[in-house]
Amino acid sequence: MNPRLGFVGIIVHQRGSAAAQINAILHEHGEHILGRMGLPRARPSVSVIVLIVEMTTDELGALTGRLGQIDGVQVKSGLAALSTNT
């Protein structure tokens, strides 16, 4: 499978308890993360992180699946139709 360009949107409702877990998972997948932008307090108790990634569908599924298991975290993602090798 060829890697494709995509994004991951992460909404965090419990920043204090989830931040360390999120950062550990993102660190493990760091070689595929091209960019990261975060809003620490988009609302009083809600933070937002947006990632630009270059991954296969399997790698993206592994990343988003682990993030989605954290209490108070919602994840949405998408990949471009074409691989970055074309």
pTM: 0.90
CA 26 to centroid of chain Cα atoms: 7
What are 8's strand-pairing partners?
A: 51, 77
Tens of pLDDT, residues 10-27: 999 977 889 999 999 999
Tens of pLDDT, residues 35-75: 999 998 867 889 999 999 999 999 999 999 999 999 999 99
Write the CATH number of the domain with boundaries 4-83.
3.30.70.1150
User: What is the distance between the alpha carbons of residues 86 and 72, in angstroms, rounded to a whole number?
Assistant: 38
